[in-house]
């Protein structure tokens, strides 16, 4: 008798908990796919296409589906790969392409012919100009995606690395190797 | 003064080391060999240079025009010739350089024409404008443009105006001597602030280790018949921090998220009041300030120094000992070692300490944190520094913000008391600059995403509009042809049907053909231009055109001095 | 050359803090040696030696510089606390096992100085009392007339353990008497036996506890500890023992007895105040210590062990991070919102 009672209690408990879970899965269902948004939040929004997808959102969707690797985004750098790995629980891999320092494009105004091809190519509208008028790149808006370099028929666009200046300078991480500190004191 | 003073928790009592620089009165520093005047000497926008190499300038002449509301002008500290407007190393812990105007003094120290202003007739806006154009900034160390702080909040009435004469950091005595020797002008300057802010009370806070300064200020206040209260506050570092002094004198606690005007109180340094008075009463812009020279020197003293004086040259006046191995700008609690001896004195420089192992013994190596809580007891903002340390070290920046890292004023009390010798403030600075950098990146990324989405929207819209237009054009053509065909062969009724079926197909083809034709035409035009035109239209220019080109090139060289710097002037500021 | 501000620091260091804790323990050690016997000094030596050896080995394995970490004194404080809480005539290997466990497992395997979630000395005590309950309950009768040489021989195992060692502590004696008496014993009658219970809390032991109190007050005056933990610990024991004693003085001892017997004073001032494993916020400290005091009393009176200080503190060590999280004080400028 005791054992039948025990089984009955366990069964009842399972039914109650199952009902609760089912109710919660219906009542608290989240619309849309928040994972894609989270992944997109990590990607740098350069819209350069180096990952092989036409923009950051398609790449995010592909990652969410599990179709591609997380190490295809050079502008995000290893830090981006690390963040994606943390979010998705996947392994951290080396970047496919080589990581370049942050750069902006600059137009040599002496050579520019005002063809507007680069303006059409820029995915984030960082180039100002009109037909037969001088074109210029608004440096703070440029993401360094390099999509404007190929279309230019006179090759007047080049990339320049953003150096450290007083506005973007950061304090360094103060952790030093213990051995180094002790050796310095002895020296 | 029988006034109820409040207390703030925490604080430390380091040895003050002030007596050595108080024995002699303020001296004038002689003209240095060169003056390197940085353009960016205040929080906010960088002033634009209005002079170039070769120009002759007079003392007090404008060399940098204020850029925006939160920005203050910069002036030539003495008469002479501008040698260059170039990048020079700044007195900043990074050792990076920024644009400076380098002036060679001609020895005459000749002022521009200047004179007192008719203060009584000036509107408050005019006074603020004049202070901005005179380069008046907070000389307590924050160098915030003073005119930006002289507007009361619209919703909260101004209760107290606090004047900071506390000078709590060890070694520094410039404010002390300023109050002793020039109290009357300081009080008059306070009067200007009082007129602009209309507070109910004016409280001048002076630490109780400065009895002579307090006496001099009281005498000046009495002589000028002003209702200001000179209050002596207990000597405790950092009682001279703006928020701490406000707490001690008024009991109000201002958190990082709010401005002090939201609580009806504003705070200014005594030296700022002095320069404001000089600007109004004499028309003198800010070209010099008092600097304490102390530390590993024979003759510590306070000097009135021209802005832009190279620090090594200045320190020689105090005869540093031979084992000096660096210069600290600021005090021992919050100062930093300057990158080299040639960096100039700026408006934020209140003290130079000659560094040596005798004066500042090298610190023991950092040990692990034992969570003793001494730092939390010492923190004047009642934060938990050891928690911030653990999170900053782990780069867990979200948690550091939960524990209020931006309320940290980097006073150094926590590092001072830590038995494990952990440089806590360095961790917090690291965390703060990382958080700011990430915010900047995120803002840039969000902006890029918005523009990208709008561009896609725009492209699709254009495509749709073009397709519509071409359909209309093709339909009109087809209709015309159909009308002709109908006129020619009225009996054939099926022809219309055939024509209308063919119309949509030809519309798409027509669009493609039209596009191809346009592109081909453009490419052909570009090629023709390239082949036909001479290599550069600059090959054969007239003399006038050449002069014009040279002027443009010269101006460009000023604005973009070196090819390896960033391509455009920086647009965002960190604050 | 890069050196960050502040350039002048307060004259303090980890080894200074630990040295002062050891100094605060000296009055108690002196009282102990005088009243109970000089064996404690031998145990201190054994424990210190083992602790330093274990620490040196672990630092070497972690590639940390010994010259920097060994003199910090934290291992010595742990060793002394172990020696003071273990029976003074315990065999030498028991002390070695306990100290070894404390330094290697409870301290270094969690990351070393500043990283241990549990108080290492209490971990050692808990491990040994669970593994060797008989040996850990053999306390000498006070006023043992054995000389130092005899005591050393007993510790080192050269002499057999004689009956003089199988006495119980006053707390243990009371617990056993109450159990045997089964409700018919009056504590006041028990306490009249001055041979075991001394003047108010245990012959000889009460003065050792008083010496801990003295050392603890000295540490407080030197600002090594704040008042929160000792006050809350003692207050909670006084409150609960006082309440139950007023309710039934025959079955429950008075607060004075509880304060000065066993490890109450040692726990209040030296063990619960360990900064690494305890709470750090002021309110958190009060809650932590009050909880520890309550648990100490409950284990003593209703639990299975004669003294509950070690387990009470270990249990509260488990709760310390959550208590800290929930008791973060409001900061400057945000007190109205908090």
- % pLDDT > 90, chain C: 55
In the DSSP assignment, the letter for residue C42 is: H
Q: Per the CB < 8 Å rule, is C332 touching B360?
A: no
Q: Compute the nearest-CA separation of A96 from chain B (Å).
A: 22
Q: Per the CB < 8 Å rule, is B437 touching A168?
A: yes
Q: State how far the alpha carbon of B188 is from the alpha carbons of B223, B272, B275, B401, in Å.
A: 11, 12, 10, 42
- Give A179's pLDDT tier (boundaries 50, 70, 90): low
With contacts defined as CB-CB under 8 Å, which chain C residues touch B168? Answer: none
pLDDT digits (tens, 9 = 90+) for C219-262: 999 999 999 999 999 999 999 999 999 998 888 888 888 898 88
Q: Residue A139 phi/psi, 5° resolution?
A: -60, -40
Instruction: Kindly list the domain boundaries of chain C, sorted by start residue.
Output: 14-169+179-326
- Terminal Cα-to-Cα distance of chain B (whole angstroms): 39
- Give B392's pLDDT tier (boundaries 50, 70, 90): very high
The β-bridge relationship of strands B160-164 and B265-269 is: parallel
With contacts defined as CB-CB under 8 Å, which chain A residues touch B455? Answer: 123-125
Helical ranges in chain C per DSSP H: 14-35, 39-61, 66-69, 74-85, 92-100, 120-131, 133-136, 148-156, 170-181, 187-191, 194-197, 205-221, 228-247, 255-260, 264-266, 282-302, 309-326
Set out the domains of chain A in order of their start, with CATH numbers: 34-88 (1.10.15.40), 101-187 (3.30.70.20)
Can you read off the two tokens belonging to residue A174? 């103060």
With contacts defined as CB-CB under 8 Å, which chain C residues touch A174? Answer: 4
H/E stretch holding B459 reads: helix B424-488
Q: Compute the nearest-CA separation of A88 from chain B (Å).
A: 18
* Average pLDDT along chain B: 87
pTM of the shown model = 0.83
Q: Per the CB < 8 Å rule, is C114 touching B368?
A: yes
Are B297 and B19 in contact by the 8 Å Cβ rule? The answer is no
Interface residue C6 vs chain B (CB under 8 A): yes
pLDDT digits (tens, 9 = 90+) for C101-150: 999 999 999 998 999 999 999 999 999 999 998 888 888 766 666 677 77
Q: Compute the nearest-CA separation of C293 from chain B (Å).
A: 21
- Residues 6 or more apart whose CB falls under 8 angstroms from that of C306 comprise C137, C168, C169, C171, C172, C175, C262, C300
Interface residue A56 vs chain B (CB under 8 A): yes
- % pLDDT > 90, chain A: 16
pLDDT digits (tens, 9 = 90+) for B54-77: 999 999 999 999 988 899 999 999
CA nearest B506: which of B522, B523, B541, B482? Answer: B482
Quick one: how many helices (H) and strands (E) in chain B? 14, 17
Q: Compute the nearest-CA separation of B194 from chain C (Å).
A: 25
Least confident range from A158-167, B108-117, B379-388, B429-438: namely: A158-167
Least confident range from B237-251, B326-340, C142-156: namely: C142-156
- Give B567's pLDDT tier (boundaries 50, 70, 90): very low
- Give B511's pLDDT tier (boundaries 50, 70, 90): low
**Beta carbon pairs, A and C, within 8 Å:** 9
The β-bridge relationship of strands B326-329 and B336-337 is: antiparallel
Tell me the C-alpha distance between C268 and C22, whole Å: 16
Closest residue, chain A, to C68 (C-alpha): A182
Which residues are registered as beta bridge partners of B301? Answer: B293
Least confident range from A7-11, B48-52, B185-189, C139-143: namely: C139-143
Can you read off the two tokens belonging to residue C291? 């909880």
Set out the domains of chain B in order of their start, with CATH numbers: 19-31+120-355 (3.40.50.11540), 374-435 (no CATH)
Provide Rg for chain C, Cα atoms.
21
Query: How many CB atoms sit inside 10 A of residue C1's CB?
Result: 7
Can you read off the two tokens belonging to residue B410? 């980097």
Mean pLDDT for B345-349 is: 94
Q: Per the CB < 8 Å rule, is A178 touching C4?
A: no
Pick among C3, C4, C59, C65 to test the A interface (most A CBs inside 10 A): C65
Interface residue C2 vs chain B (CB under 8 A): yes
Q: What is the pLDDT of residue A28?
A: 84
Query: How many CB atoms sit inside 10 A of residue C109's CB?
Result: 12
Instruction: With a cut of 60, say whether residue B537 has pLDDT above it.
Output: no
* Average pLDDT along chain A: 84
H/E stretch holding A78 reads: helix A77-88
Instruction: With a cut of 90, say whether residue C180 has pLDDT above it.
Output: no
With contacts defined as CB-CB under 8 Å, which chain C residues touch A178? Answer: 64-65, 68
Pick among B372, B393, B404, B427 to test the C interface (most C CBs inside 10 A): B372
Q: Per the CB < 8 Å rule, is B371 touching C4?
A: no
Cross-chain CB nearest to C280 (options B330, B371, B416) = B371
Interface residue A162 vs chain B (CB under 8 A): yes
Tell me the C-alpha distance between B472 and B459, whole Å: 20
Instruction: With a cut of 80, say whether residue B564 has pLDDT above it.
Output: no
Mean pLDDT for B449-464 is: 90
Interface residue A131 vs chain B (CB under 8 A): no
Q: Per the CB < 8 Å rule, is A170 touching B454?
A: no
Task: Sort A155 into a burial class: Cβ within 10 Å, 0-12 / 13-18 / 19+.
Answer: exposed
Instruction: With a cut of 80, say whether residue B283 has pLDDT above it.
Output: yes
Q: Residue C34 phi/psi, 5° resolution?
A: -70, -45
Interface residue A127 vs chain B (CB under 8 A): no
Q: What is the pLDDT of residue B502?
A: 47
Q: Compute the nearest-CA separation of A171 from chain C (Å).
A: 11
Interface residue C69 vs chain B (CB under 8 A): yes
Mean pLDDT for B12-17 is: 92
> If you write DSSP's letter for every residue of C244-286 in order, what string do you get?
HHHH-TTTS--HHHHHHSTTHHHIIIIITT-TTTS--SHHHHH
Closest residue, chain B, to C9 (C-alpha): B416
Closest residue, chain B, to A113 (C-alpha): B526
Q: What is the pLDDT of residue C131?
A: 94
| B225: alpha, beta or left? (left if phi > 0; alpha if psi -120 to 50) | left
Q: Per the CB < 8 Å rule, is A174 touching B423?
A: yes
With contacts defined as CB-CB under 8 Å, which chain A residues touch B571? Answer: 139-140
Are C299 and C316 in contact by the 8 Å Cβ rule? The answer is no
pLDDT digits (tens, 9 = 90+) for B98-131: 999 999 999 999 999 999 999 999 999 999 999 9
With contacts defined as CB-CB under 8 Å, which chain B residues touch C334? Answer: 255, 404
- Give B348's pLDDT tier (boundaries 50, 70, 90): very high
Q: What is the pLDDT of residue B390?
A: 94
> If you write DSSP's letter for every residue of B212-267 in order, what string do you get?
HHHHHHHHHHHHTT---EEEEE---BTTTSHHHHHHHHH-----TTS-GGGGTEEE
Q: Residue B270 phi/psi, 5° resolution?
A: -65, -35
With contacts defined as CB-CB under 8 Å, which chain A residues touch C71? Answer: none
Instruction: With a cut of 90, say whether residue A6 has pLDDT above it.
Output: yes
Q: Per the CB < 8 Å rule, is B566 touching A125?
A: no
Instruction: With a cut of 50, say whether residue B570 has pLDDT above it.
Output: no
Q: What is the pLDDT of residue C338?
A: 44
CA nearest B329: which of B283, B295, B303, B359? Answer: B295
Mean pLDDT for B233-261 is: 92
Least confident range from A144-158, B534-548, C43-57, C186-200: namely: B534-548
Closest residue, chain C, to A171 (C-alpha): C4
Highest-pLDDT range among A108-122, B236-250, B527-541: B236-250
H/E stretch holding B529 reads: helix B494-532
Mean pLDDT for C180-184 is: 69
Chains near B (3 or more Cβ pairs under 8 Å): A, C
Cross-chain CB nearest to C7 (options B258, B360, B376) = B360
pLDDT digits (tens, 9 = 90+) for A130-139: 888 889 999 8
Least confident range from B150-164, B224-238, C141-155: namely: C141-155
Chains near C (3 or more Cβ pairs under 8 Å): A, B
pLDDT digits (tens, 9 = 90+) for C20-39: 999 999 999 999 888 877 88
Task: Sort C96 into a burial class: Cβ within 10 Å, 0-12 / 13-18 / 19+.
Answer: middle
Closest residue, chain B, to A168 (C-alpha): B437
Q: What is the pLDDT of residue B539?
A: 55
Q: Per the CB < 8 Å rule, is A171 touching B433?
A: yes
pLDDT digits (tens, 9 = 90+) for B353-365: 999 999 999 888 8
Q: What is the pLDDT of residue C274?
A: 93
Q: What is the pLDDT of residue A178?
A: 56
- Terminal Cα-to-Cα distance of chain A (whole angstroms): 82
Chains near A (3 or more Cβ pairs under 8 Å): B, C
Q: C176 vs B277, which has greater pLDDT?
A: B277
């Amino acid at each position: 008798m005791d054992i039948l009672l025990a089984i009955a209690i366990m069964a009842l408990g399972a039914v109650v908990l199952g009902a609760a879970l089912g109710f919660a899965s219906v009542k608290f269902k989240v619309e849309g796919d928040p994972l894609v948004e989270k992944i997109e939040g990590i990607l740098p929004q350069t819209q350069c296409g180096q990952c092989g997808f036409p923009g950051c959102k398609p790449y995010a969707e592909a990652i969410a589906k599990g179709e591609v690797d997380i190490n295809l985004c050079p502008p995000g750098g290893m830090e981006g790969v690390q963040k994606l790995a943390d979010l998705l629980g996947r392994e951290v891999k080396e970047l496919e392409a080589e990581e370049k320092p942050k750069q902006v494009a600059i137009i040599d105004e002496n050579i520019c012919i005002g063809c507007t091809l680069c303006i059409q190519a820029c995915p984030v509208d960082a180039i100002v100009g009109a037909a037969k008028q001088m074109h210029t790149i608004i440096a703070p808006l440029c993401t360094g995606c390099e999509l404007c370099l190929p279309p230019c028929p006179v090759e007047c666009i080049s990339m320049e690395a953003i150096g450290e200046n007083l506005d973007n300078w950061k304090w360094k991480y103060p952790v030093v190797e213990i051995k180094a500190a002790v050796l310095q004191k002895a020296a | 003064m029988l006034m109820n003073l409040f207390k703030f928790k925490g604080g430390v009592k380091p040895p003050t080391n002030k007596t050595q620089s108080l024995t002699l009165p303020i001296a004038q520093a002689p003209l240095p060999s060169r003056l390197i005047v940085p353009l960016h000497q205040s929080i906010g926008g960088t002033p634009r240079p209005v002079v170039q190499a070769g120009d002759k300038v007079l003392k007090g002449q404008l060399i940098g025009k204020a850029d925006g509301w939160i920005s203050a002008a910069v002036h030539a500290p003495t008469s002479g010739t501008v040698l260059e407007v170039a990048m020079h190393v700044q007195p900043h812990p990074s050792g990076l350089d920024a644009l400076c105007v380098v002036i060679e003094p001609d020895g005459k120290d000749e002022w521009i024409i200047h004179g007192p202003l008719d203060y009584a007739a000036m509107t408050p806006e005019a006074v603020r404008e004049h202070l901005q154009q005179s380069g008046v900034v907070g000389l307590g160390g924050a160098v915030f443009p003073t005119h930006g702080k002289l507007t009361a909040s619209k919703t909260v009435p101004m209760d107290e105006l606090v004047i900071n004469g506390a000078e709590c950091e060890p070694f520094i005595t410039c404010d002390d001597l300023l109050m002793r020797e020039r109290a009357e002008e300081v009080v008059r300057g306070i009067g200007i602030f009082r007129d602009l802010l209309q507070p109910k009370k004016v409280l001048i806070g002076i630490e109780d280790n400065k009895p002579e300064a307090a006496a001099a200020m009281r005498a000046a206040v009495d002589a000028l018949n002003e209702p200001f209260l000179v209050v002596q506050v207990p000597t405790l570092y950092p009682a001279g921090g703006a928020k701490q002094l406000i707490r001690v004198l008024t009991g109000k606690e201002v958190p990082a998220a709010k401005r002090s005007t939201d609580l009806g109180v504003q705070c200014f340094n005594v030296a700022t009041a002095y320069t404001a008075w000089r600007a109004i009463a004499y028309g003198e812009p800010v070209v010099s300030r008092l600097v304490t020279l102390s530390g590993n020197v024979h003759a510590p003293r306070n000097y009135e120094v021209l802005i832009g004086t190279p620090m090594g040259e200045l320190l020689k006046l105090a005869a540093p000992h031979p084992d000096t191995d660096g210069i600290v700008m600021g005090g021992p609690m919050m100062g930093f070692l300057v990158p080299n001896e040639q960096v100039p004195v700026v408006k934020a420089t209140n003290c130079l300490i000659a560094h040596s192992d005798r004066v500042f013994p090298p610190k023991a190596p950092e040990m692990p944190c034992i969570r003793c809580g001494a730092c939390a007891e010492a923190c004047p903002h009642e934060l938990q520094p050891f928690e911030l340390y653990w999170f900053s070290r782990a780069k867990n920046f979200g948690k550091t913000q939960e524990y209020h890292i931006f309320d940290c004023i980097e006073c150094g009390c926590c590092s001072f008391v830590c038995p494990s010798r952990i440089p806590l403030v360095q961790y917090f600075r690291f965390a703060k600059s990382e958080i700011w950098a990430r915010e900047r990146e995120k803002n840039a990324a969000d902006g890029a995403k918005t523009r990208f989405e709008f561009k896609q929207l725009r492209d699709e819209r254009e495509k749709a509009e073009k397709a519509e237009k071409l359909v209309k054009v093709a339909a009109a053509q087809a209709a015309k042809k159909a009308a002709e065909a109908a006129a020619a062969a009225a009996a054939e009724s099926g022809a219309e049907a055939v024509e209308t079926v063919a119309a949509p197909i030809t519309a798409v083809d027509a669009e493609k053909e039209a596009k191809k034709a346009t592109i081909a035409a453009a490419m052909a035009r570009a090629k023709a231009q390239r082949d036909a035109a001479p290599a550069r239209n600059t090959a054969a220019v007239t003399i006038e055109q050449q002069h014009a080109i040279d002027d443009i090139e010269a101006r460009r060289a000023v604005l973009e001095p070196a090819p390896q710097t960033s391509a455009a002037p920086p647009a965002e500021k960190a604050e | 050359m890069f050196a960050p501000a502040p350039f002048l620091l307060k004259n303090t260091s980890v080894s200074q803090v630990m040295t002062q804790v050891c100094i605060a323990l000296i009055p108690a050690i002196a009282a102990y040696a005088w009243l109970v016997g000089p064996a404690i000094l031998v145990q201190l030596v054994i424990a210190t030696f083992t602790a330093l050896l274990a620490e040196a080995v672990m630092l070497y394995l972690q590639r940390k510089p010994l010259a920097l970490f060994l003199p910090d004194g934290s291992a010595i404080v742990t060793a002394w606390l172990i020696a003071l809480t273990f029976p003074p005539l315990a065999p030498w290997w028991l002390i070695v096992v306990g100290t070894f466990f404390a330094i290697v497992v409870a301290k270094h395997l969690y990351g070393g100085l500043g990283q241990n979630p549990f108080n290492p000395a209490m971990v050692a005590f808990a491990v040994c009392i669970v593994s060797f309950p008989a040996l850990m309950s053999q306390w000498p009768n006070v006023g043992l007339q054995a000389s130092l040489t005899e005591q050393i021989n007993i510790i080192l195992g050269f002499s057999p353990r004689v009956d003089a060692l199988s006495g119980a502590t006053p707390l243990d004696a009371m617990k056993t008497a109450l159990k045997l008496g089964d409700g018919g014993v009056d504590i006041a009658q028990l306490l009249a036996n001055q041979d075991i219970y001394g003047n108010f809390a245990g012959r000889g032991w009460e003065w050792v506890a008083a010496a801990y109190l003295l050392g603890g007050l000295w540490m407080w005056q030197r600002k090594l500890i704040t008042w929160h933990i000792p006050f809350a610990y003692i207050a909670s024991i006084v409150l609960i023992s006082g309440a139950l004693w007023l309710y039934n003085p025959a079955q429950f001892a008075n607060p004075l007895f509880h304060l000065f017997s066993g490890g109450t004073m040692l726990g209040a001032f030296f063990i619960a105040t360990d900064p690494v494993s305890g709470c750090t916020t002021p309110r958190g400290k009060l809650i932590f210590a009050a909880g520890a005091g309550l648990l100490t009393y409950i284990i003593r009176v209703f639990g299975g062990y004669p003294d509950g200080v070690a387990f009470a503190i270990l249990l509260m060590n488990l709760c310390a991070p959550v208590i800290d999280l929930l008791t973060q004080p409001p900061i400057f400028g945000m007190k109205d919102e908090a």
